[in-house]
């Protein structure tokens, strides 16, 4: 068995808890078809029925698949989506979960990323992530700073955080693979400050030119400065209007095997980073319905929750029992 096939087996049996009496749909596109084929082949061994569906790659993260495909997703026990662009924040994914499917999204996944990150101890990641989620659930405000100049205050009072553990075993549940993050939406219209993205940005890739400096007022990005990558981000967001500039998500990575590669699927899970997303927040209980959701990864942050430091210059303090 190849390393990719072993990773596919881990994804289906350990992460998705696929059973012999269940049906599996693998939804993929040309960019990620090698991973899709590996999952489909594994599914033929471990599911009652394994179906492979190939579609044209979406143009942006959060863009809906064709309506016919959305309908098909609702008819399977397990749906796994290795696709070029993310289907996480789509109505298609939400409706599939509402129908009872367990859904894993794998935007931008490559064979190399799959092989490396599916070796992680997801039970340990799950424990770490749930501890972090409990802290965020009880929080009122999160304050993030970095040596580069990030200084942003994110109100989260009364908002429930979500644990993306990589163990997608309950009916109607969903998450990314690879996984490892705790995330939630900021209180709408209340985030204030500046965040500087020096890791990567969804739709843009790894930051190699200049860090992106994003100024936020009353919950919306009002200015995006930087080099050529900032120009690219502005070009992605502008067609969607003001809603695309909504501060949609705060996430904290918990996967100790993940590294920064330029693919947001892995980058946002890197332990010792945080990410802030712009755009759609419906999947987190919000009201901003727009066809785009882009995450920006911040390296070596200091994170304070109601004044208590939970991360110091990229050192997540949960494992060291300092919190």
pLDDT tens digit string along 135-159? 999 999 999 999 999 999 999 999 9
CATH topology of domain 3-117: Thermophilic metalloprotease-like (3.40.1830)
Residue 5 burial by CB count (10 A; 0-12/13-18/19+): exposed, middle or buried? middle
pTM: 0.84
In whole angstroms, what is the distance from residue 19 CA to residue 17 CA? 6
- Say yes or no to pLDDT of 229 above 60: yes
**How high is the pLDDT of residue 119?**
83
- Say yes or no to pLDDT of 322 above 70: no
Phi first, then psi: give them for residue 27, nearest 5 degrees: -105, 120
pLDDT tens digit string along 63-118? 999 999 999 999 999 999 999 999 999 999 999 999 999 999 999 999 999 998 88
Strands (E), the chain: 23-29, 49-55, 78-81, 102-105, 141-145, 151-155, 162-164, 174-176, 181-184, 192-197, 200-201, 205-206, 212-217, 220-225, 247-253, 273-279, 293-299, 302-305, 308-312, 315-316
- Say yes or no to pLDDT of 255 above 90: yes
pLDDT tens digit string along 113-138? 999 888 888 889 999 999 999 999 99
Which residues of the chain does CATH 3.40.1830.10 include?
3-117
């Amino acid at each position: 068995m190849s390393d990719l096939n072993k990773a596919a087996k881990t994804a289906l049996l350990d992460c998705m808890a696929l059973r012999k009496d269940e049906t599996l749909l693998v939804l993929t596109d040309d960019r990620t078809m090698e991973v899709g084929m590996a999952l489909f082949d594994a599914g033929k061994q471990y599911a009652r029925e394994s179906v492979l569906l190939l579609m044209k790659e979406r143009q942006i993260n959060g863009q809906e698949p064709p309506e016919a495909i959305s309908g098909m997703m609702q008819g399977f026990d397990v749906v796994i989506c290795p696709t070029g662009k993310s289907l996480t924040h789509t109505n298609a994914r939400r409706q599939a979960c509402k129908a009872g499917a367990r859904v894993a999204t794998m935007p931008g996944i490559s064979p190399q990323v799959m092989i490396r990150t599916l070796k992680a101890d997801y039970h340990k990641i799950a424990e770490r992530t749930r501890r972090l989620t409990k802290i965020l659930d009880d929080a009122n405000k999160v304050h993030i700073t970095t040596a580069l100049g990030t200084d942003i205050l994110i109100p989260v009072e009364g908002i429930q955080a979500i644990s993306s553990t990589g163990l997608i075993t309950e009916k109607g549940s969903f998450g990314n693979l690879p996984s490892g993050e705790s995330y939630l939406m900021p209180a709408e219209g209340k985030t204030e400050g500046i965040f500087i993205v020096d890791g990567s940005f969804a739709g843009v890739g790894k930051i190699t030119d200049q860090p992106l400096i994003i100024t936020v007022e009353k919950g919306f990005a009002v200015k995006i400065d930087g080099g050529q990558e900032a120009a690219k981000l502005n070009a992605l967001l502008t067609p969607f209007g003001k809603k695309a500039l909504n501060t949609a998500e705060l996430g904290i990575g918990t996967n100790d095997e993940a590294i920064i590669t330029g693919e947001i699927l892995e980058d946002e899970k890197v332990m010792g980073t945080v990410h802030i997303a712009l755009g759609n927040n419906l999947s987190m209980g919000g009201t901003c319905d727009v066809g785009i959701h882009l995450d920006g990864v911040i390296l070596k942050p200091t994170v304070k929750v109601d004044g208590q430091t939970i991360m110091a210059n990229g050192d997540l303090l949960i494992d060291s029992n300092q919190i």
